[in-house]
Each structure stands twice: as structure tokens, then as C-alpha cells.
Amino acid sequence: MAIGEVIQGIAVAAAGAAEKIKLSMKGLPKHIAITIEEPASAYVKDIVFTAAKLGIPVVSFQLLHRNYEIDDVDWLAQFFNDLSSWRFLQENQFKVSVLGKWYDLPSRLVEPIKKVLEDTKDYDRFFLNFCINYNGQEEIVDACRLIARQVEAGKLNPEGIDKSTIKENTYSSFFLPPELIIKTGFEKKLCGFMLWDSADSKICFAEKPWHEFTRADFLKAIEWWQRA
């Protein structure tokens, strides 16, 4: 399906076609990050599908905060089990990465994550990131630890440390910072999401919960980014 057909189809489905989506195909963001406030995987696939059709190479989701409940682990384990069988990832060569201390979580979640990472490790056309058991301040602290070890080992001169040094040691070192961050829910704060990478990001507050966030809302956020 052509990109124009995807946009037109989504626009028609939005609000009974009462509100048209005027999206330019020139100058789309290369990396979009999205926060999910509640434990629900609905619409993740819709957003990933739409981003791929638009040719957006990197999409990141914040799925699980550090202060998680045990039930959150169960729904997320099911989500990754479903993700591993989603043929769209393989057909479009999505490399899946997980950012954060996910390896500290129960094995019933760690194992499905490992499987998806292994199955997609050789892909490099699109990149799908999930922040799980993630804290932006801890990410920077961990980067500082890695840099300190390099200095201690004599591999790095302290005078040579700059912004790029920090970036190279963050969880997201391989990815461009997000140009657009979409904040779902009603709180107008990021809670440390991609703290280092968000310095120059435009932040779109969706002002609706994730379970009501649709493909049309995703396109509207990109349209806002193009105008902002």
C-alpha cells in the first residue's frame, strides 16, 4: 500500500473524516518516541505499522517504569510473546532493542524479550525500541560509571570528555535522539523519559490515555511537529 493511501485511509477513519490530516511527506522525523502511561499494548502494532509505511526508521516506546506492579510483568510477557510471532517485523526487517534494566525482571518476561532480540538481531531497515524498567537519571549515572572505568583504565583522557562521550555510553547510544516525543495521558511531564536524548526534542502532549490513542492521533502529532 502506498504511503498516500495509508494516510488517506487513516484520515477518513478519524472522527468521521470531520478533521482532515494535512501531513507533508517532506521532512518527517527520523525518530519518534512515545510514552505509554498504562499497562496496555493495544495500538503499539498500529503505530509501528504506520511509522513503517511513512518510512520513519526509529520508533521508541516507554512501556514499563521502574515503579512497576507485578501484573505489569504478565501483560508485558504476553506482549513480547505476541511480538515474536508478528510477521510484519520480519517482513520489514525491524531490529528490536530493549533499553533499561529489563534483565532484572522475572524470567517469564526476560525470556520472551531475549527471543525477540535474538530473532531480529540481524535486521537493520527499521528500529523498534522499548524502554523497560527504565529511568532516565539512572541511564546517565550508568553512562558516567562506564566513562569513569575508561578513564581509570587509561583509555580516555578526562579533558576529552564531551557531550558525544556521554551519548556513546547511554542505553540509546546507537540511535539518533528523538525529534518528536509523544506524551500520552494527562500529566504534562516526561518523568525522565530519554532524559539525555530529549534536550532538543519537540514534545506533543496528546491529552488522552494510551488506550484511546489511534493511528490518526499519531499522524496528527507528526503534523503538529511539522508546524511547531
pLDDT tens, residue by residue, 97-113: 999 999 999 999 999 99
pLDDT for 16 equals: 46
pLDDT at 19 over 90: no
pTM (two decimals) = 0.89
pLDDT for 43 equals: 83
Residue type at 188 in one-letter notation: K
| Burial of residue 39, with CB atoms counted within 10 A of its CB: 0-12 exposed, 13-18 middle, 19 or more buried | middle
Confidence band, pLDDT 50/70/90 cuts, at residue 42: low
pLDDT at 179 over 90: yes
Torsion of CA 52, 210, 221, 93, to 10 degrees: -10
**Cα 136 to Cα 197: distance, rounded to the nearest angstrom:** 9
**What cell numbers appear for 221 in the block?**
502529532
Mean pLDDT of the 174-178 span = 95
**What cell numbers appear for 211 in the block?**
488506550
Confidence band, pLDDT 50/70/90 cuts, at residue 69: low
Mean pLDDT of the 59-70 span = 79
C-alpha pair distances (Å), 158 with each of 5, 142, 147, 188: 53, 17, 9, 37
pLDDT for 170 equals: 97
C-alpha closest to that of 88 among 30, 47, 40, 130: 47
In the chain, domain spans: 50-134, 135-180
pLDDT for 15 equals: 47
Mean pLDDT of the 148-164 span = 96
What does the buried/exposed string (b/e) look like for 181-206 if buried means 16 or more CB atoms within 10 Å of the residue's CB?
bbbbbeeeebebbbbbbbeebbbbbb
**Cα 208 to Cα 150: distance, rounded to the nearest angstrom:** 44
- Cα angle value 3/91/1 (rounded, 5°): 20
**What cell numbers appear for 212 in the block?**
484511546
Residue type at 29 in one-letter notation: P
- Domain 50-134 carries which CATH code? 3.40.1180.10
